[in-house]
Amino acid sequence: MKFAGLKTTLIRGLTLAVPLAIVVYVLIRMIQVIRKIITPVATKIGIHRMLGNATLTILAVLLILIFIFLLGLLMQISFVSKTRQQLENTILKFVPSLNYLKLMAADKLEVQNSQNSWKPVLVFSEEKYSAAFIVEETETLVTLFVSKGTSLKEGEILTANKKDVQLFPATYEELNKFSRSFGKGFISIIERKQQP
């Protein structure tokens, strides 16, 4: 694992710390507000000390979780989904580091999904090498998703006889890194297979 320079590491830490701090601050404020709202009701019912001093905090957290679940149900309505997207775009203009955090989460999810479903390879076909994923294979045929350009998300589907293509095993991390580097590193995958 390579470590980035001090300045880059500090900037990355800051881009993660700012949105996390905002989320934690908002969550704490929400819990405090909800505690104030539910205190009279909990006192009347007699459950304000049922689990000790943390009872109201636990109730506040449960109410927040229920509220988040209800928002998730509302997101299935297209109007609400569009409104959320507009609101998110507005927030990202004021807090750009949230976009970086979102991209990191999406990238991590993409890595996990690709690792769990398709087998990454470097394929030699039609006199060129390309990053690809084995989608399906039999003893004689193979279906590949062949990426185009520097992104592994865009590409084309290729179904071919196994004898017509040459496959070089790789990891998703290698394909992702080397594709983003405009192919720099693919030679190491080819040479690794050719070694005895």
CB 58 within 8 A of CB 51: yes
Domain ranges within the chain, ordered by starting residue: 6-103, 118-194
CA dist., res. 158 & res. 142, Å (int) = 8
Q: What is the dihedral of CA 175, 176, 179, 184, to 10 degrees?
A: -70
- 169 Cβ contact partners less than 8 Å away, ≥ 6 residues apart: 119, 120, 121, 189, 193
pLDDT in the model for residue 1: 38
User: What is the model's pTM?
Assistant: 0.41
- Average pLDDT rounded to a whole number, residues 23-49: 77
How do residues 101-137 score in pLDDT, each as one tens digit? 666 655 555 555 554 577 888 888 778 888 888 888 8
Collapse the DSSP code of 168 into the 3-class scheme (helix H, G, I; strand E, B; otherwise coil) and give the result.
strand
